[in-house]
A and B are shown apart, each in its own frame.
Chain A
């Protein structure tokens, strides 16, 4: 025959109808693959065949259109034959067995995970947060409040007069829908939280720490900033996304989603979010003819109360690492421009 003939390669041939192996030889003749065994032979155009990816020591499989296949373990010879036929492995395959590509992939992965966590997730959460139905936000917040009441906080011992006065003052000074709850802080001490549906929780300790009502209102303005800017919801979405990814990565630990509400308490807001909430409170206070310095004072009092109390930073201050910086920023811009 005039066309070029490649070297013959040993293979095991199966016809797809029985498990009987046929010890065979196969070789290329131009664009045709020839296969010969003791009691059979066939020739097929190379175009009609499929070749499996190389996978280490696993055999390469050549599949014929009628369901038969050949198993080849003579890897070096087969690679030469493939080269001759012009077959090129897919890029994903070449990458997986090339040390440089593997190392580059590790690097790329770390970079992606880091960039995704730093920018991707917050960006996506900010876009998605407004789309979460009001009903779901309320249900999650109710659940979170129940959880906080069950595990963390005790009923308030404040005078009804005091709480009513504070609630009335706050209602008069904002049009953001909210509900105000008072609780005894227990382990979290002087503290305040905001839930995504506008529930604000203030501890008795914080009220006691404040020199006057205005200081409490200033703190609540900051918390309302978290509500208005959907910080809690965004953090929760991010937390759920991380949980979902971890679940996919590490296997099926279901019910991780059910823990989502606890993210509101367990993980604080980001520094940027705190700064945004401070800024929100500052603008509102200025617009109401009040001084943002009150919030700055309260921040300092809270910081020192938690330091002296010895129970470490928790809750309100857990992600407030740069109190001094925030206090300075609030004081610096405490006069209307």
Chain B
């Protein structure tokens, strides 16, 4: 038999030696050139349809990413219904507009809108976590998310409010609660994920990020003032404080994106995956901060110099690195996973996007 899979994935009758997990790295076969085609066709169709196609575009994009990601010789898949995503986008747009405009009209309308948002948002976000999980599969088994509403209100309402009122001193705890909520209630088929995250790990990451961020701000300030002083225009009233402020803010965003984001996202990914378990299996994530800095920096440069056309290539580069940094440490045969009872594909069906199916990007 000339089955290429026999070389990739032996049907696993292999003797498992206790205590020595088998390493199964995630592999990513997406290519910038291919994704560019998908991206540009998606973009054109989205523009022509005034954004309506963007929901279908998102499904194709995620399908491309999922199906090009393999574990132990089998690809992931994405099954989201574009109509649910479109609904999510319309809801999101309406909420954004309501939030931005209501306070302009009157204070009371603003407060009512804010209250409404506070009630609705946690439920929507919980729903979209569920949607995202349920529509992801590997080897024909769906992932799932069973997080409850009470915890959703705690994670998406109570903790954000608490961290705002403590000048973001509690923000790392909020993030810890959020990640715990997201993964502790996740499952693959009938097998539950488990996660142990310590608050102190988040404080460590955000502490360093804060230092880097302050350095970025100082750098932006010094650079702007330096440039203005060098041009000798500060004294003549040409550069208004408004312009100066805008320059500092713009440069700061750039430096934050370049200096803070790679650090935080590398550390966070490692933290979450290294503390995650799925039944007898563990994960290992080895994203290196300096590699992520390099990728981010070169991606930004190339994107700017190609007026955005490099963006799909940049996406693929970043995704490949982040995905291929993750390894599954299999503590048993991977064939043993079972579908959740009553949750097999035929029963839930892709066509049964119910009224409350929404997907709001987190």
Contact = CB atoms under 8 A, between A and B. Distances in A.
Interface of A: 10-12, 14-23, 25, 52-53, 55-59, 61, 65-69, 71, 73-74, 92, 95-98, 101-102, 105-106, 108-109, 112-113, 116, 135-136, 139-140, 143, 151-152, 187, 248, 252, 254-255, 257-258, 310-312
Highest count of chain A CB atoms <10 Å: which of B104, B140, B241? B140
Given A67-B345, A69-B140, A109-B47, 7 more contacts: A12-B74, A21-B335, A23-B11, A67-B347, A109-B44, A112-B48, A143-B104
B75 A58 contact: yes
Interface string B1-13: 1111110010100
Contact of A21 (B11, B77, B347): B11
A22 B1 CA distance: 13
B101 A257 contact: yes
Contacts of B45: 92
B67 A12 contact: no
B40 A102 contact: yes
Contacts of B334: 19
Contacts of A109: 40, 43-44, 47
A55 B2 CA distance: 24
A187 B139 contact: no
A139 B100 CA distance: 12
Nearest to B57: A92
Contacts of B75: 58-59, 61, 71
A139 B47 contact: no
A95 B139 contact: no
A16 B345 CA distance: 7
Given A61-B67, A102-B36, A19 B336 contact: yes
Given A21-B74, A59-B67, A258-B100, A16 B5 contact: no
B48 A257 contact: no
30 contacts: A17-B338, A17-B339, A18-B336, A19-B141, A19-B335, A19-B336, A20-B11, A21-B5, A21-B11, A21-B139, A21-B335, A25-B1, A57-B29, A57-B31, A58-B68, A61-B75, A67-B347, A96-B34, A96-B41, A102-B36, A102-B40, A106-B309, A109-B44, A112-B47, A135-B105, A143-B104, A257-B96, A257-B100, A257-B101, A312-B238
A25 B4 CA distance: 11
B100 A95 contact: no
Contacts of A10: 1-5
